[in-house]
């Protein structure tokens, strides 16, 4: 997994804007790596740390998995995480210390007239039971559900743990992003957008609308009192076997000190030790949320060892894992995909609207996941060689009315469908009750990209 993350980090430095901040010019003494949300908070603590005469801290912000991998391997001394240990092989040797309370906030564009959702509505949106904004008092427009594709992302994991009783629960989210920064930017530009981030990340951001939950607006005050229900701890993660373990623990202790707490408060956070009310009500609050949405807590699936699997997972095994993941929740019947219990050599075998890749083999194609993976484009350039190859295969867009009948007679009940504006390969497949993989195969598509006006061959099951 570390090898995968190393390559993913290298690619993301160019494509996803990974930021590295070195505070002070002296020789660095600690390296911090983790999710973007925690990084924004940590910068304030680092400034207070260094102004108190301590050494340098290099901040490398990307996502939760990269930070945990780096601390486990010794490439970093500290990690930031919006979730506790998942029990995985990577997490088991690390120390998770809660340092602050933050609010998980559901966000949309300021131009969206919807301002409040119930817990049940949030639950049902991620389960694809609610798909249009008019079902929650908004415009007649589909809900574009965005999520972070990062394996074990802390924000996504924590929200699913609250709403479904299991952080690894598969949900409906066809648009995946590399981290919360990318997700927030996309939601701000899309009046139909919907996703989750944290209060500390978007408080005061006029380009983002934070939705109220059951009428309660997310704020430092409502998080601190517990009246806003979606509050979670933020953690600093260390490795007790690291050569810099003592210095890392000193930084954690400083974060919990009066100076550190001051820095946390300046970033719309509640210091963990100041949240005694939240600690006392945490268990009952979780039970109340699950009861309200009709879910129940369940154990996370057995985690795999860090070594990649010796053999690729067969599609049947993937399907079995998917069925097991959703067996306790019939309302997730529309979601294909699941929690993989062994490491696939490639994500090509995995079908799903949203997925968490755990300890993927080094050759995994995970790094290719991007936010526009399911977006329709007006034009898709095609090379002459590709055009000739497609012509020889007689794709659906080359079929005229006279030829369409001929094709239908060859492989009934085949039919064609013209891609409309804003449609995706996923939405088209769902509309016709077929799998995305089948539509790709029938039309000789190499990925999920389609263009407006393109004619696709569709065949019913």
CATH code of the domain containing 388: 3.10.350.10
| Separation between Cα atoms, residue 273 and residue 327, nearest integer Å | 38
* Average of per-residue pLDDT across 277-305: 83
According to DSSP, the residues that pair with 453 across neighbouring strands are none
Peptide bond into 413 cis (omega under 30): yes
Please give the full DSSP string across 290-334, using - where no structure is assigned. HHHHT----PPPPPPPSSPPSSPPPHHHHHHHHHHHHTT-GGGTT
Count the domains in the chain.
2
**Residue 266 domain flag:** yes
Report yes or no: 228 and 213 within 8 Å, Cβ to Cβ.
yes
Asked if the structure places residue 379 within a domain, the reply is no
Distances (CA, A) of 331 to 136, 162, 261, 375: 18, 17, 42, 26
Rounded to two decimals, the pTM is 0.62
Structural domain range at position 70? 2-101+234-272
pLDDT at residue number 152: 66
Q: Are 424 and 415 in contact (CB under 8 A)?
A: no
253, 272, 291: which is the final residue of a domain?
272
Q: SS3 for 354?
A: coil
**CATH label of the domain that carries residue 258:** 3.40.190.10
What is the rounded average pLDDT for all residues in the chain? 73
- Structure tokens that stand for 292 in this block: 């309200």
In a domain, 76, yes or no: yes
Considering only CA atoms, which of 106, 224, 118 is closest in space to residue 158?
106
Q: What is the pLDDT of residue 36?
A: 79
Pair (246, 388) in one structural domain: no
Q: Which pLDDT tens digit goes with each residue over 347-381?
A: 333 333 333 332 333 333 333 333 323 333 333 33
- The answer to whether residue 204 sits within a structural domain is no
Q: Which of 272, 296, 318 is the last residue of a domain?
A: 272
Q: Is residue 394 assigned to a domain?
A: yes
How many whole angstroms from its chain centre is CA 283?
25
**Is residue 301 situated within a structural domain?**
no
Q: Does the structure show a pLDDT above 50 at 177?
A: yes
The predicted-structure confidence for 310-348, as pLDDT tens digits, reads as follows 233 333 333 333 333 333 333 433 433 333 223 333 333
Average pLDDT over residues 72-89: 89
What pLDDT does residue 334 have?
A: 42
**Is 437 within a domain?**
yes
Whether residue 160 is contained in a domain is answered as no
- Of the candidates 272, 301, 325, which is a domain's last residue? 272
| Range with the poorest average pLDDT among 212-216, 384-388, 439-443 | 384-388
């Amino acid at each position: 997994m570390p090898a995968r993350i190393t390559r993913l980090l290298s690619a993301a430095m160019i494509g996803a804007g990974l930021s590295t901040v070195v505070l002070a010019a002296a020789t660095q003494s600690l390296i911090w790596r983790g999710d973007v949300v925690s990084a924004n908070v940590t910068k304030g603590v680092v400034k207070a740390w260094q102004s108190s005469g301590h050494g340098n801290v290099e901040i490398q912000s990307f996502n939760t998995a990269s930070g945990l991998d780096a601390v486990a391997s010794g490439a970093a001394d500290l990690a930031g995480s919006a979730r506790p240990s998942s029990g995985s092989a990577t997490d088991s040797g690390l120390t998770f210390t809660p340092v602050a309370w933050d609010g998980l906030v559901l966000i949309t564009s300021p131009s969206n007239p919807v301002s409040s959702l119930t817990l049940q509505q949030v639950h049902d949106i991620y389960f694809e039971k609610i798909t249009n904004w008019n079902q929650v008092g908004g415009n007649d427009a589909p809900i574009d559900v965005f999520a972070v594709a990062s394996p074990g992302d802390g924000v996504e994991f924590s929200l699913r743990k609250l709403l479904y009783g299991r952080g690894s629960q598969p949900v409906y989210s066809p648009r995946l992003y590399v981290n919360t920064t990318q997700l927030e930017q996309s939601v701000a530009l899309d009046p139909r957008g919907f996703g989750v981030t944290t209060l500390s990340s978007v408080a005061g951001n006029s380009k983002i609308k934070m939705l109220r939950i059951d009428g309660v607006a997310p704020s430092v005050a409502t998080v601190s009192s517990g009246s806003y229900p979606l509050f979670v701890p933020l953690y600093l993660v260390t490795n007790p076997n690291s050569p810099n373990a003592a210095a890392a623990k000193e930084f954690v202790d400083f974060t919990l000190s009066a100076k550190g707490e001051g820095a946390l408060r300046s970033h719309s956070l509640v210091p963990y030790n100041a949240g005694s009310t939240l600690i006392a009500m945490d268990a009952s609050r979780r039970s109340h949320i699950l009861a309200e949405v009709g879910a129940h807590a369940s154990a996370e699936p057995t985690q795999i060892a860090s070594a990649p699997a010796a053999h690729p997972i067969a599609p049947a095994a993937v399907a079995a894992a998917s069925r097991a993941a959703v067996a306790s929740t019939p309302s997730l019947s529309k979601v294909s995909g699941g929690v993989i219990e062994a490491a696939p050599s490639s994500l090509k075998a995995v079908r799903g609207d949203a997925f968490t890749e755990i300890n993927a083999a080094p050759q995994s194609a995970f790094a290719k996941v991007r936010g526009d993976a399911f977006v329709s484009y007006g034009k898709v350039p095609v090379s002459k060689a590709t055009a000739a190859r497609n012509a020889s295969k007689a794709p659906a867009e080359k079929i005229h009315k006279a030829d369409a009948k001929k094709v239908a007679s060859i492989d009934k009940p085949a039919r064609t469908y013209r891609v409309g504006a804003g449609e995706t390969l996923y939405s088209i497949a769902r509309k016709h009750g077929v799998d995305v993989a089948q539509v790709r195969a029938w039309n000789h598509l190499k990925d999920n990209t389609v263009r407006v006006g393109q004619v696709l061959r569709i065949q019913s099951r």
